[in-house]
Chain A
């Protein structure tokens, strides 16, 4: 109950901000942070709960973005339909990739997911309808009523998407699914011997995770008014989606949210104050620091602190 009230408060606050007179740049930056919240939360469902490290977030994200563009080009589909199509495409890709790769363990699975990024990018480079390698300029439709600019609307849409993603991750974590996935992460053989249908559970996680990543990618073309393969399938998305849960903590749904807010906000600040090149370095440095000093992330640090102060 407390969770859903918090969600409502966040949604209302986002709505309030969107119709306030606040500077337009805020919405541009916040959109990116929110995108990373969705990506990190999605990544954590497979990577954190089940321990299957997906390096291919960009493939799912890009698939969602291109699905949106195709529908927009062909039918002039509205944003909600684009997002639904992005989610479906991500889910389908998750299923396909999952069936082919989830029998692989550890590093082999991770490598296979990287390959998917290159396959998807190559496919889009060679597809003229969506602009091929040069990309495609997109004409945004008119913005809807209460919002004065498109960025403000996208900000609210992305907030709702983040709430949905976190709600799903939270449900999975606390349900029978979450316990099964944790069993898979701890010992796949023991899980299987104790009645856990490991392959099916991993597939479910991969499909849900892919769907959320695809949905997160769908609004991106409208945000940029442009799409092209190299930046859409940029490995920065994959690294960010993986780094945020590592920094925040992987065992709880709150971890990726905290990690994404810290990481993506810091990146935005660095991009504006120093340079757009250094922001990639920020991810690297933070990731190294956390892996060495706080392997359980910010949540882990917080728990330790709670324990020591209660003594």
Chain B
């Protein structure tokens, strides 16, 4: 088994009296394509907020690249190599697409603007956004916004990319486009956690899948074994 890049052990998180995560543990290897599924409100986004640092876990440990990161603010975690996209796209809407990418390239990778722009243009080209580089982020279409989320995450040169429902609300061919982008990034050696409701996409993409329900991991395995799992079927269908 390859080196473990991310180890989450016994992480819990409460919002008031509501247990969003209870003793969640998982390990992700360097270079892995990992799928995280679960019904709405099962704690998927809370878990990745805890990993990326927008929320702090109350108990348990989060170790990234052999370093405990549970107490670090989000911006420091991004500098260690954790990048994420947002479920509801959060572009810097008063900036151009190119400038959006220059934020992480200046603050995470510490590139000068001239070098940053060259790299950003390469990333945009790879995602088919190059012709939109000068457009304001607020003028983009839904699928372009999703791509911008991923492109911006890539500008931070991450080792781990967390894609939070990058395909929600997209049409079939658009899903394929985004999926191809994620495969390409993984081929470059980037470990990817994919959170997704579109089952067919998660199943095609992931090497391993974990299913969350009500803040707990109810099962883990290959995509094929997950769909057959009785607990997963119950969580989704409520039978």
A residues adjacent to B (C-beta < 8 A):
176, 179-180, 182-183, 185-187, 189-199, 251
Judged by a CB distance under 8 angstroms, whether B13 is at the interface is no
Judged by a CB distance under 8 angstroms, whether B142 is at the interface is no
Judged by a CB distance under 8 angstroms, whether B106 is at the interface is yes
Assess whether A193 is in contact with B84, with CB atoms less than 8 Å apart.
yes
Assess whether B93 is in contact with A186, with CB atoms less than 8 Å apart.
yes
Closest to B52 in A: A193
Assess whether A194 is in contact with B152, with CB atoms less than 8 Å apart.
yes
Assess whether B78 is in contact with A193, with CB atoms less than 8 Å apart.
yes
| A186 to B90 alpha-carbon distance, docked (Å) | 8
A-B contact count (CB 8 A): 78
Q: Which of B91-116 contact A (CB under 8 A)?
A: 91-95, 99, 102-104, 106-108
Given A193-B84, A197-B73: A183 touches B54 (CB 8 Å cut-off): no
| A246 to B53 alpha-carbon distance, docked (Å) | 34
Assess whether A185 is in contact with B54, with CB atoms less than 8 Å apart.
no
Assess whether A196 is in contact with B107, with CB atoms less than 8 Å apart.
yes
| A307 to B99 alpha-carbon distance, docked (Å) | 21
Judged by a CB distance under 8 angstroms, whether B132 is at the interface is no
Contact of A192 among B54, B94, B95, B102 (CB under 8 A): B54
Assess whether A179 is in contact with B106, with CB atoms less than 8 Å apart.
yes
Assess whether B91 is in contact with A187, with CB atoms less than 8 Å apart.
yes
Judged by a CB distance under 8 angstroms, whether B156 is at the interface is yes
| A116 to B103 alpha-carbon distance, docked (Å) | 33
Q: Which B residues lie within 8 Å of A199 (CB)?
A: 73
Assess whether B106 is in contact with A176, with CB atoms less than 8 Å apart.
yes
Assess whether B75 is in contact with A198, with CB atoms less than 8 Å apart.
yes
A-B contact pairs, 25 of them (CB 8 A): A176-B107, A179-B95, A179-B99, A180-B107, A182-B94, A183-B103, A186-B90, A186-B95, A187-B92, A187-B93, A190-B90, A190-B91, A192-B73, A192-B74, A193-B74, A193-B84, A194-B78, A194-B83, A194-B104, A195-B78, A195-B79, A195-B156, A196-B75, A196-B107, A198-B75
| A279 to B94 alpha-carbon distance, docked (Å) | 34
Q: Which A residues lie within 8 Å of B104 (CB)?
A: 194-195
| A84 to B186 alpha-carbon distance, docked (Å) | 56
| A180 to B99 alpha-carbon distance, docked (Å) | 11
Among B75, B99, B106, residue most surrounded by chain A Cβ atoms (within 10 Å): B75
Assess whether B106 is in contact with A251, with CB atoms less than 8 Å apart.
no
Nearest CB of chain A from residue B143's CB, rounded to whole Å: 18
Given A179-B99, A186-B95: A192 touches B90 (CB 8 Å cut-off): no
Assess whether A191 is in contact with B53, with CB atoms less than 8 Å apart.
no
| A187 to B104 alpha-carbon distance, docked (Å) | 13
Contact of B75 among A179, A185, A195 (CB under 8 A): A195
Closest to B94 in A: A186
Q: Which B residues lie within 8 Å of A180 (CB)?
A: 103, 106-107
Assess whether B92 is in contact with A183, with CB atoms less than 8 Å apart.
yes
Closest to A251 in B: B94
| A185 to B108 alpha-carbon distance, docked (Å) | 18
Q: Which of B53-84 contact A (CB under 8 A)?
A: 53-54, 73-75, 78-79, 83-84
